[in-house]
Amino acid sequence: MDVDAFVAASDAYPIPTSPDGAPIRFSYGTAGFRTRGDVLASTVFRCGAVAAVRSAVTGRATGIVVTASHNPERDNGVKLVDCDGGMLPVAWERHAEALANAPGWDAMRAAIATMRTPAEAHLPKHAHPPAHAADPPPPHVFLARDTRPTGPALAAAAKAGAEAIGASVTDLGLMTTPQLHYVVYASHRGWPSAEADYFARLARGFRRMVAGGTNDDDERRSIVVDCANGVGAAKLAALAEAIGQSSSDGCVLSMDLRNVAGESGSLNNSVGADYVQKEKRAPAHGSFETLGPSQRCVSVDGDADRLVYFRKKPDGSNENSVELFDGDKIAALVATRVADLLRRCAPLNAFDHPPLRVGVVQTAYANGASTAYITNVLGVECACANTGVKFLHPEAEKFDVGVYFEANGHGTAVFSDATIERIDAAIERVDAGADGGGRSSIEQCTDAVAALRELKAMTEAINPAVGDALSGILVVEAVLLAKGWGLTEWGNMYADLPSRQVKVTVLDRSVISVTNAERVAVTPAGMQAAIDQAVGRHGAHARAFARPSGTEDIVRVYAEAATEAGAAELAREVCGIVYDFAGGVGDRP
């Protein structure tokens, strides 16, 4: 590591100052550093070095992605990907912050020295293959960016930072965030990690998932995709190519891609998954108003790690309002399919000793109706984690098959290595003509074998590293096809309770601290009791909480109740309580 060369090179990337002349302070939030793109060069340059040092410490390649996801086009951000393809350890977020804000060469040297102390290694749980302890490889960083105008210069800064300290950099250019995670994940396991390998894996998984499908009537599977004018547009086109839109084997998925052009200012501008989920409205661009209520639509966000499905409200009361199929509904669909497949696999006796634990991980924002459905109807365990994938993913890893989605559509299904080994072993037994259950013929188990193969295919179609809109679309489509379901049947799983999500501005949001997966406020004193009282007044199904956002300088209030009016009123009351107890700014809500 050439720390001296790095600190010397940093002079070309000075920390910018705010109008009062003080250096801008950068913080690593829920999903990396994120702010206006034109002030990020010094931070991104320094993140290049963090990724390089992390690679040196772990003996494996790491990743950097330059993106601000669903945020406006003028913003940008930088997120570091750990060597196993997952999120950076939380302790290293603090190291990245220390380096990003270090005021001079000595402070930078000190921040890097801290990262390199053995106590700070926080090595990932999974080591594939074993670390090269004796002869560590030179540090290596994979780099990608989304389509923002500030992206090329920032990516160049990241590369310069990593190279200055002595890492080699593979610049992958434009990629979705989950693609970059996948590249690092695959390289960690020694798998082929080129972009073509990613597409081929997803496409293979999809085609195998639908291979035994009920598509006898040759009905064309058609979806309209809102690409948010982001990096997902080109990648979805490539994915469509990979699954072979014109294939003659019956497993057709036709994707009509909209909002792909990416004119200046169009990224996430009244389009994309965040807009559709928060507004419960169709994208304002891409001619969605001309579609009928039977058309299945899906929106991805600017870096294509979120997806939500939607369709026009059949009553047509408001021409742009939609029925939303959010992350909660996607999790319920995927978990249902996993549970169905495992049940059907029973004759193979492959997953009974010990029984596989399937679970769903949600956040406090999950609609109460979805939690009730998963627990009571599906009979699947349901855990609640703090907001942010870095909390959900590890919770999901505690199950043999853990399905997690944030309500906003970010999520995936995590199959543990041991589970995949058990699936593979069962397939081997089947292929060898034994059923594992002592029966003379596997013919008695045709349905179980089909289920087993579909389960295996799902592990390939899903992005194992992180939530991915592209793989999410394939899995949802394959499950709908296999079940012979349209949106009506999917929607019939459960009806969302009316809910509201609102923002309150306060002087200092850190006065609010929370516990119990963010559902209970510990401070300021008395605030939770007041929220409880308000909830109590709204009867059965009422629920509300307030927590400080990890990505914006606001407090988020969430409320749900049995009626639309009740949810709106409860949200308004809780906003007032937050305003009173936590130092509200401006007019009282």
Ligand X SMILES: CC(=O)N[C@H]1[C@@H](OP(=O)(O)O)O[C@H](CO)[C@@H](O)[C@@H]1O
Piece in contact with ligand X (CB under 6 A), picked from 161-169, 385-393, 438-446, 479-487: 385-393
- Smallest separation (angstroms) from Mg ion to the CB of 70: 5
Specify whether 441 is catalytic. no
Q: Within positions 303 to 362, which residues make up the interface with Mg ion, using CB under 5 A?
A: 303, 305
| 551 touches, from Mg ion, ligand X, none (C-beta below 5 to 8 Å by class) | ligand X
Which CB, 159 or 410, lies closer to Mg ion? 410
Confirm or reject binding of residue 556 to ligand X (CB under 6 A): yes
- Smallest separation (angstroms) from ligand X to the CB of 139: 27
Confirm or reject binding of residue 299 to Mg ion (CB under 5 A): no
Token reading at 483: 């079940």
Ranges assigned E (strand) in 385-516: 401-405, 411-415, 499-504, 513-515
- Smallest separation (angstroms) from ligand X to the CB of 230: 14
Instruction: Rule CB under 6 A: choose which of 244, 551, 572, 583 binds ligand X.
Output: 551
8 Å CB contact between 233 and 263: no
22 is in an annotated binding site: no
Piece in contact with ligand X (CB under 6 A), picked from 12-20, 235-243, 453-461, 545-553: 545-553
8 Å CB contact between 489 and 483: yes
- Smallest separation (angstroms) from ligand X to the CB of 32: 9
| Residues with Cβ within 8 Å of residue 103, at least 6 apart in sequence | 15, 23
Which CB, 342 or 465, lies closer to ligand X? 465
| Residues with Cβ within 8 Å of residue 88, at least 6 apart in sequence | 54, 80, 81, 82, 96
Instruction: Rule CB under 6 A: choose which of 120, 195, 340, 552 binds ligand X.
Output: 552
Piece in contact with ligand X (CB under 6 A), picked from 249-257, 265-273, 316-324, 543-551: 543-551
| 31 touches, from Mg ion, ligand X, none (C-beta below 5 to 8 Å by class) | ligand X
96 is in an annotated binding site: no
Confirm or reject binding of residue 387 to ligand X (CB under 6 A): yes
Which CB, 208 or 556, lies closer to ligand X? 556
- Smallest separation (angstroms) from Mg ion to the CB of 272: 9
How far apart are the C-alpha atoms of 278 and 365, rounded to whole Å?
Answer: 12
Q: Total residues contacting ligand X (rule CB under 6 A)? A: 15
DSSP state of 352: B
How far apart are the C-alpha atoms of 240 and 235, rounded to whole Å?
Answer: 9
Which CB, 166 or 388, lies closer to ligand X? 388
Which CB, 120 or 552, lies closer to ligand X? 552
Confirm or reject binding of residue 274 to Mg ion (CB under 5 A): no
Residue nearest to ligand X (CB): 550
8 Å CB contact between 144 and 179: yes
Confirm or reject binding of residue 279 to ligand X (CB under 6 A): no
- Smallest separation (angstroms) from ligand X to the CB of 504: 13
Confirm or reject binding of residue 365 to ligand X (CB under 6 A): yes
How far apart are the C-alpha atoms of 313 and 165, rounded to whole Å?
Answer: 55
Instruction: Rule CB under 6 A: choose which of 84, 303, 406, 460 binds ligand X.
Output: 406
| 365 touches, from Mg ion, ligand X, none (C-beta below 5 to 8 Å by class) | ligand X
DSSP state of 344: H
Of 191, 186, 154, 188, the C-alpha closest to 173 is 154
Piece in contact with Mg ion (CB under 5 A), picked from 65-73, 88-96, 137-145, 376-384: 65-73
Orientation of helix 527-537 relative to helix 564-581, angle to 10°? 160
549 is in an annotated binding site: yes
Which of the residues 69, 193, 299, 416 is marked catalytic? 69
How far apart are the C-alpha atoms of 305 and 148, rounded to whole Å?
Answer: 16
550 is in an annotated binding site: yes
Report the C-alpha dihedral over residues 452, 457, 463, 464, rounded to 10 degrees.
Answer: 40
- Smallest separation (angstroms) from ligand X to the CB of 16: 23
Of 107, 105, 35, 46, the C-alpha closest to 80 is 46
Confirm or reject binding of residue 69 to Mg ion (CB under 5 A): yes
Of 129, 127, 93, 133, the C-alpha closest to 111 is 93
Binding-residue pattern over the window 63 to 102 for ligand X, x denoting contact by CB under 6 A: ------x---------------------------------
User: 167 vs 67, 140, 191, 366, 564, CA distance in Å?
Assistant: 21, 5, 21, 41, 55
Confirm or reject binding of residue 31 to ligand X (CB under 6 A): yes
User: 322 vs 77, 273, 283, 449, 494, CA distance in Å?
Assistant: 30, 13, 10, 39, 16
- Smallest separation (angstroms) from Mg ion to the CB of 105: 35
Of 569, 546, 566, 541, the C-alpha closest to 558 is 546
Of 330, 362, 373, the C-alpha closest to 473 is 330
Which CB, 182 or 365, lies closer to ligand X? 365
Task: Look at the block and give the residue holding tokens 């853990």.
Answer: 402
For 559-586, the three-class secondary structure string (H helix, E strand, C coil) is EECCCHHHHHHHHHHHHHHHHHHCCECC
| 30 touches, from ligand X, Mg ion, none (C-beta below 5 to 8 Å by class) | ligand X
DSSP state of 302: T
How far apart are the C-alpha atoms of 304 and 176, rounded to whole Å?
Answer: 6
- Smallest separation (angstroms) from Mg ion to the CB of 187: 22
94 is in an annotated binding site: no
556 is in an annotated binding site: yes
8 Å CB contact between 556 and 546: yes
| 303 touches, from ligand X, Mg ion, none (C-beta below 5 to 8 Å by class) | Mg ion
Ranges assigned E (strand) in 292-410: 297-300, 307-312, 322-325, 358-362, 381-384, 401-405
8 Å CB contact between 114 and 120: yes
For 398-430, the three-class secondary structure string (H helix, E strand, C coil) is CCCEEEEECCCCCEEEEECHHHHHHHHHHHHHH
Which CB, 42 or 408, lies closer to ligand X? 408
Which CB, 288 or 391, lies closer to ligand X? 391
Task: Return binding residues for substrate.
Answer: 406-408, 547-551, 556
Task: Return binding residues.
Answer: 69, 301, 303, 305, 406-408, 547-551, 556
User: Which positions are annotated as active-site residues?
Assistant: 69
- Binding residues for Mg ion, rule: CB under 5 A, are 69, 301, 303, 305
Task: Return binding residues for Mg(2+).
Answer: 69, 301, 303, 305
- Binding residues for ligand X, rule: CB under 6 A, are 30-31, 69, 365, 387-389, 406, 408, 410, 549-552, 556
